[in-house]
Amino acid sequence: MASRAAGQSPSRLRGPSGRIWPLWGRRLRPWLVPLLLVALLEAHARTLGRGSDALAAPSAALWAGWQLLRSGELLAATAFTLGSAAAGLALGAGCGAVAGLALGLMPRLSRASFLSIEMFRPLPSVALVPLAMLVFGFGLRMEMSVVAFATFWPMLVLAQAAVRQVEPGLIEVARALGLTPAARLTQIVLPASVPRLFVALRLCVAIALVVAVTVEIAANPHGVGYAMSLAQQSLDPASMLAWLAWIGVVGVAVNGAMLALQRRVERRMGGAA
Amino acid sequence: MLLEFDQVAIHLGGREILSPTSFGVRAGEFVCVIGPSGCGKTTLLRAASGFMPPTHGQVRRHGRPVQQPSREVAFVFQDYGRALLPWRTVASNVSLALEAARVPPAERPARIDRVLATVGLTAHAGKFPAQLSGGMQQRVQIARCLAQEPELLMMDEPFGALDAMTREGLQDELARLQREQGLTVMFVTHDLEEALYLGDRVIALRAHPAPGRPSLAAMVEVPLPRPRDQLATKESPEFLRLRRELYRFLGHD
């Protein structure tokens, strides 16, 4: 009996530490490869790559990051980048959503505007930087406008599709119940589009971050992108890597926040989202 | 006559699906429309509800042509999964009918409670449709239709997607509701026994009408006493006779 029970659960065969190891092991396993890479980089920077202008030891980058945090630079630059990305997103995705919903509801208007949309949409948003710089100069408004342009088009296209894909059965229910056009929009079409609009929003959030950092690296002397390229130009790989890692952390955090928000909305909407 | 079909014909894709058909539905009557798939029974019901105009002829309610859906006519869709708002709770789904009818918010809770009690869903008022079984979801849809307080209930194969046990339970419940509330029901099904068990009258349609073979294959009064019983009624000689008679009409002749 005892041998059969042991055979059924091989994890118990790991001896006295078997009850602790799987628990810790499961938590640690995803971190194993990244930690190993960091350790390798650290070893490389302290031996072969000593004095390199391109790479710094992770410990040095960590220290540089700590200095940036203490000086307030880190948070100020992050606030600028996130702020302009959020403002641009609100403007671009907001207008895109409204325009997309309108086009989705009015097929005739959608057909009429198809050509103009397809002419502007493929324009790479970063190509707008020179124009935006001429119009707005350096600063928040310039970055915001490029982010807004970049997020407007995907939201427009996806919002339009979201409205088109509303379950036709629900539209019939609205007709059968005699809902007014306004109620049909607010009670049926909009809530039914929420899941797809959320996917579009998450896509636009990612685009907004990428474009904001790109604009800062390319032109705008503010934010984390500029700070990172400045560190690069001053041959300070430790700070540069610190900024790079920080941008990664911010990206992960923003994505995590969006996922959490999505789950909350899903729960409130009965698992519909 | 509450509802009149006057030479109603339906063409789809250039083909005649339903040849000109005339009949009437009296107030308080339970009329079942039966036929094989493709005979135009659902389309007929949709035309009678104002979702689409018939190709020829006219459907009149109280003598006036039906041109668009009305709140006086409630429609129970076959696919309950697509007819309920998944983001609204059971009570809130029922409330939609009241909101559409501009019932003052203060009156809504009491009316919602009443219809939910009628269909036995009081305990599930706060649940979302996805948390309910198919039979219960269809009850929610029926509750929403009852909340409209319609004079006419249109049902398009409402129990077609349910298992036999659930279906029989809901049939008895529907028969009770119709009796208690004096509803007029037009019920489309492809199940002969269901039509006979529920209907005061059964209208049998045939597919592929042709000259000399009109869509309206038969119209049969069902004089079985009410309340009916799943076993006793379905075993009665009269039920079996009607079943045999209709069976021949439905393309098995």
Q: How far is A216 from chain B (nearest CA, A)?
A: 41
Q: Is residue B59 domain-shared with residue B179, that is, in the same domain?
A: yes
Specify the DSSP element, H or E, that contains B73: strand B73-76
pLDDT at residue A20, rounded to an integer:
60
Pairing of strands B184-189, B201-205: unpaired
Do the chains contact at A271 and B77, CB–CB below 8 Å?
no
pLDDT tens per residue across span A35-52: 999 999 899 888 888 877
Q: Is residue B45 part of a domain?
A: yes
Interface probe for A, chosen from B45, B87, B98, B153 (most Cβ of A below 10 Å), is B87
Q: Is residue B78 part of a domain?
A: no
pLDDT at residue A50, rounded to an integer:
80
Tens digits of pLDDT across chain A (273 residues): 344 444 444 444 454 555 666 677 778 888 889 899 999 989 988 888 887 777 888 999 999 999 999 999 999 999 999 999 999 999 999 999 999 999 999 989 999 998 989 998 899 998 999 999 999 999 999 999 999 999 999 999 999 999 999 999 999 999 999 999 999 999 999 999 999 999 999 999 999 999 999 999 999 999 999 999 999 999 899 999 999 999 999 999 999 999 999 999 988 887 754
Do the chains contact at B69 and A175, CB–CB below 8 Å?
yes
Question: Residues 6 or more apart from B211 whose CB is under 8 A from it?
Answer: none
Interface probe for A, chosen from B76, B85, B138 (most Cβ of A below 10 Å), is B85
Residue where a domain terminates, one of B100, B132, B149 = B149
Higher-confidence position of B74 and A54: B74
Residue where a domain terminates, one of B105, B125, B149 = B149
Q: How far is A17 from chain B (nearest CA, A)?
A: 43
pLDDT at residue A272, rounded to an integer:
54
Q: Is residue B188 domain-shared with residue B124, that is, in the same domain?
A: no
Do the chains contact at A179 and B86, CB–CB below 8 Å?
no
pLDDT of residue B161 exceeding 60, the answer is yes
Q: Is residue B235 part of a domain?
A: yes
Cα distance between residue A94 and residue A206, in whole Å? 15
pLDDT tens per residue across span A131-141: 999 999 999 99
Q: Is residue B194 domain-shared with residue B223, that is, in the same domain?
A: yes
Whether chain B has a CB inside 8 Å of the CB on A191: the answer is yes
Cβ contact B86:B130 at 8 Å: yes
This prediction's pTM: 0.81
Nearest C-alpha in A relative to B84: A170
Do the chains contact at A272 and B96, CB–CB below 8 Å?
no
A126 bridge partner residues: none
pLDDT of residue B232 exceeding 50, the answer is yes
pLDDT at residue A21, rounded to an integer:
63
Q: Is A110 exposed, middle or buried (0-12, 13-18, 19+ CB in 10 A)?
A: middle
pLDDT above 70: percentage of residues in chain B: 99
Instruction: List A residues 145-174 in contact with B (Cβ-Cβ < 8 A).
Output: 167-170, 172-173
Range of the domain at B103: 84-149
pLDDT at residue A56, rounded to an integer:
86
Q: Is residue B248 domain-shared with residue B164, that is, in the same domain?
A: yes
Q: Is residue B215 part of a domain?
A: yes
Q: Is residue B182 domain-shared with residue B237, that is, in the same domain?
A: yes
Which of 3.40.50.150, 3.30.300.20, 1.10.3720.10, 3.90.1150.10 would CATH assign to domain A61-268?
1.10.3720.10
If you write DSSP's letter for every residue of chain A in order, what string do you get?
Answer: -HHHHHHH-GGGGG-GGGGTHHHHHHHHHHHHHHHHHHHHHHHHHHTTTTT-SS---HHHHHHHHHHHHHHTHHHHHHHHHHHHHHHHHHHHHHHHHHHHHHHHH-HHHHHHHHHHHHHHTTS-GGGGHHHHHHHH-SSHHHHHHHHHHHHHHHHHHHHHHHHHTS-HHHHHHHHHHT--HHHIIIIIIHHHHHHHHHHHHHHHHHHHHHHHHHHHHHT-S-HHHHHHHHHHHTT-HHHHHHHHHHHHHHHHHHHHHHHHHHHHHHHHTTT--
A190-218 vs A223-233: helix crossing angle, rounded to 10 = 30
Q: Is residue B178 domain-shared with residue B232, that is, in the same domain?
A: yes
Do the chains contact at B69 and A269, CB–CB below 8 Å?
no
Q: Is residue B135 domain-shared with residue B207, that is, in the same domain?
A: no
pLDDT tier, B251 (very low <50, low <70, confident <90, very high otherwise)? low
Q: Is residue B159 domain-shared with residue B248, that is, in the same domain?
A: yes
pLDDT of residue B80 exceeding 70, the answer is yes
Nearest C-alpha in B relative to A167: B82
Domain coordinates of chain A in residue numbers? 61-268
pLDDT at residue A51, rounded to an integer:
76
Q: Is residue B38 domain-shared with residue B107, that is, in the same domain?
A: no
Q: Is residue B97 domain-shared with residue B208, that is, in the same domain?
A: no
Q: How many domains does chain B have?
A: 2
- Closest Cβ–Cβ partner in A175, A176, A271 for B130: A271
Q: Is residue B130 domain-shared with residue B159, that is, in the same domain?
A: no
pLDDT at residue B252, rounded to an integer:
55
Q: Is residue B171 domain-shared with residue B186, that is, in the same domain?
A: yes
